[in-house]
Amino acid sequence: MAATGDERGYVRTWQLPGLTPSGSSAATRFQHRAVACSWSRDGKLLATTGDDGQVKLITVPEHKVRRVLRAEGAVLRGLALDPEGAFVAAAASDGGLWLWEAADGTHAHRARGLAAKVDHTSSESRQPLAWHPDGGTVLAVAGRENDVVLLERLSWQPLEHGGYLAGGHASSITALAFSPNGIYLASGDSDGKVAVWMVDKAVQVSWQQAPAGVTSIAWHPQNNALLLGCADGQYGLWVGPLAQQQQQQQQGGAAGSQLPSPWQPIDDVLKEADAAAADAVKVDEAGDDDDELAELEDEDADGDGGAPAVIKRRGLKSRAGAPAASSAGGAADSLAGLDDLLDDLDAAAGGAAAAAAADPAGRAAPRWRPAPPPPKPQAAVHPCSTPAPAAGCGAGGRFLAYNSLGCVVSKAVDDHHVVEVTFHDTAKHRARVPTLTDFYDFFAAALGPRGVAYISAAAGPQQPSMLVYRCFESWTPGSDWSVALPEGEEAAVVAAGSSVVAVATSRRLLRLYSHAGRQLAVLGLQGQPVAAATPDPGHLAEPGSSLAASRQHLLGLVWAAGPPVDGCGTQQLQYAVYDVSRAVQCCCGPLVLSPGASLAWLGFSREGLLAAMDSAGVLRLRSPEWGGAWVQHLDAPAARAAMGSEAPLWPAWLEGGSLMAVVNSSKAPHPQVSPRPLITPVPLGLPGAPADAAPGGALEEEGMRLALAAAAVAAAADAAEGADDAEALAADLAAQRTEADKAGLRLFNAYLKAGRQGRALEAVGALHHTRSIEGALKLANHHHLPSLAERISAFLEQRLHWEDQQQQQQALLAQQQHSHEWAAAGDDMQTQQDQHDASQATAADAPAAPKAGSGGSSGGGRQPGAAMFGAAAGRAGTAAASAAGQKRKPAGIDAALGSKAGGGGNPFARKKAAK
């Protein structure tokens, strides 16, 4: 496993060696950038920290935060997790050292001014820490004097003997790493020097110069080699840092003696040391090399065969299976291309001794390689457009746009281009759109139901980036218009719908215009725009379709949310869907792509669902259910295999249950303008996996797909504002559910034939209409399944009872709404009458005596019927509420309507008579 952290605070885990993402989301996120990561020995616990002074302990692969440790008022720059998982150490920028007990999060120790101080505002400052692999007996810390401080476990004090490794660096230490068996410690500084120390002797045994400051060091688990990473992005493999000739550089060691292995277990190292001591004794008995024997005896007096004192305290077991601890932000780059270096390790190790002998200093120089360039964010995508002819589109021109309505073709003529708009159905579009002379070199277009929009790139200060729109038909001259974008702003993507023309620019702006050219809005984006789309004009042209009317104002947009994921190269994209007529954002979120893929096509389905196809050939639709999840509807490679073709698909638009696409040849991945490409319907289908290989798998997929379409219509009906639109969409929803019920009954019959009565009963529960449930009951009786028929009959009774309750509630709500409307009308009438009476009293010089038979009064002619109108309606509402859904007309409604049975007469008629 590997772990990385980025500037936005995300911490992610990866599977080695392929660097595939571990888990569907980030392990955690900090408020500011992530700083460091450290693994436990078993790879099940990850410690990570950020600029906010928090240390999080995360379980892997569950990605659950087990504990949060806080260093109050500190800016942490280094982190190390005890190999036994007992302690967590962190170094702060002010030189402080923090230690916690991982079990309960209590503070184990805090030291001030022990480590070197670093700039807390710099993202490149580091405070390295390293635990000894033998159960964390020693903690190595970068000291204040450009040295390494070795702290003893539990006492947290420098070792009594060899507690400081000094004299090897002239600048601050930026990287530390113990060898797999703990005999050696490698350190690197900001000037690029790498030193290898023998821990027990506290002496430097080898060193090497890197081209830039060292950021990370890793020992090979089973070879004499070091992997080094530098601040300039380069990395190198240092083979043979502990060659035999390097012993000559050791202080106080015998010249020419073999250094212990850095990776073999300590038990094997001690046995080799004992064997070497025995051989030395034999040589001494022969009268040879008395000095060497004396030296070995001195070493034996100090310990077993020269093994470090730190190792003697505890036995060390092999760590070949331990995970690699990766520092935040740079693990993926350091691992990229490492396989090429490790392939040469065996051959390089054989010649390490010869290379060391050729170097007077006895140092084998590592081979440095520059880090691969990071993957770039995806460039803008223009659905249904083809590249220039030089890229393989032939000599007939290129498509700027292609959909179910027609196509826009650009052809080169002399020093400019001409643009032609052609409709597929000339019977519906009799008017021919004049050819446009293109002096701007348009690179993309959007063919909408009412016009076509073009965009071009800037060609210097005298020719800015342009947006040009041409209407198909207009009642007034001057309907065409153009926009010259401000200097430094480039048009990236364009879309044209039934009520909007949208262009997203390089300044992360979304500019919306009406078809007449009026600016509607200027919205900000969180990243560079990648693609834009509106519903297909062929869907909007459906006569009398309420569903088409509800989605005609939608606009879909995709932008880059960040750099591609390191290792696999998957683009990080965000999407949003806007309803321009209501000026609202309907939904937004991350765009789901296949690993290592980018966006290839963007559009809408007939039901108004946003659809996206990636470069891996996977088509997904955003569902309004499951929190806006993306549902896969097509795997193009599998579809091509089913069609018996390996040619790539060029998506054009969605039509019902099919993707209308062009099947290209392998030599020409994009369709040519001439001859006209042939559109082929590719059936859609969910990637189902039926249980027990039972029949009906295809029917299950069809049912899920129809349920998704019905959910889209239901969402449109819920969002409808007008009563007429809601009723029309309700009719469309009923028709869509009828189609889903038909598929459900076919699935029910298939289950019965396969003897899966339990699944058949569950299929009945998914039916929408009572007639469909009755049909399932007939099928159960036809197959002579009385037990199933009995259960279906009971379910049908429950459904009918539930529908009766729903109808009663709807009737009650309608009566209450009607009563409130009459009450409001009565209050308005009373207000108008009072205002009229007040105006008459003001205009009269003196109060006049009432005339006989006038029906009025000296008080201004107040009408009892009008005064009681609002109260009568209010009593009607109370009576309706107490009726609890009864279908009879509530008391008081007849009187309010002026019925003769009520005896009160029509209040409108009484008011007229009074006037």
Q: How many residues does the chain have?
A: 915
Residues forming beta bridges with residue 905, ordered by sequence position: none
Give the model confidence (pLDDT) of 382-417 as tens digits: 988 888 765 444 456 899 999 999 999 998 887 778
- Dig out the tokens for 190 from the structure: 């900001």
Res 587: pLDDT: 92
Residue 893, classed as helix, strand or coil, is helix
Res 600: pLDDT: 93
Residue with tokens 């002096």: 439
C-alpha distance from residue 301 to each of 182, 298, 305 (Å) = 21, 5, 9
Query: Residue 726 and residue 708: Cα distance in Å, rounded?
Result: 19
Residue 572, classed as helix, strand or coil, is strand
CB 20 within 8 A of CB 301: no
CB 126 within 8 A of CB 174: yes
Query: Residue 861 and residue 840: Cα distance in Å, rounded?
Result: 10
Res 187: pLDDT: 94
Q: Which long-range contacts (CB under 8 A, 24 or more apart) does 95-99 make?
A: 95/144, 97/141, 97/156, 98/71, 98/74, 99/156
Residue with tokens 């990473």: 229
Sheet of 529-533, strands arranged across: 529-533, 554-562, 572-579, 584-590
- DSSP code per residue over 767-789: --SHHHHHHHHHHHHHTT-HHHH
Res 862: pLDDT: 38
Radius of gyration of the chain (CA): 40
- Dig out the tokens for 277 from the structure: 């001591």
Q: Angle at the Cα of 143 (from 142 to 148), degrees rounded to 5?
A: 65
Question: Sign of the C-alpha dihedral, residues 769, 773, 776, 781?
Answer: negative
Res 533: pLDDT: 95
Q: Which of 413, 421, 416, 412 is nearest to 388 (CA)?
A: 412
Res 722: pLDDT: 62
**Contacts of 426 by beta carbon, 8 Å cutoff, 6+ apart:** none
Residue 118, classed as helix, strand or coil, is coil
Provide φ and ψ at 734, rounded to 5°: -65, -40
- DSSP code per residue over 682-697: EE-------GGG-S-H
Res 843: pLDDT: 61
Ranges of residues in the chain with a pLDDT under 50 are: 244-256, 288-290, 292-362, 391-394, 544, 846, 848-915
Query: Residue 645 and residue 866: Cα distance in Å, rounded?
Result: 80
CB 307 within 8 A of CB 300: no
Question: What's the predicted TM-score (pTM) here?
Answer: 0.56
Res 252: pLDDT: 43
DSSP H/E element including 702: helix 697-719
CB 576 within 8 A of CB 530: no
- Give helix then strand counts, H and E, for the chain: 18, 47
Question: Sign of the C-alpha dihedral, residues 304, 307, 313, 314?
Answer: negative
Residue 625, classed as helix, strand or coil, is coil
Res 755: pLDDT: 85
Give the model confidence (pLDDT) of 495-521 as tens digits: 999 889 999 999 999 999 999 999 999
Residue 164, classed as helix, strand or coil, is strand
Determine the distance from the C-alpha atom of residue 807 to the mean position of all C-alpha atoms in its chain, rounded to a whole number: 43
Burial, 222: exposed, middle or buried (Cβ in 10 Å; 0-12, 13-18, 19+)? Answer: middle
Query: Residue 47 and residue 88: Cα distance in Å, rounded?
Result: 8
C-alpha distance from residue 258 to each of 199, 202, 243, 255, 548 (Å) = 16, 18, 8, 9, 82
Res 303: pLDDT: 40
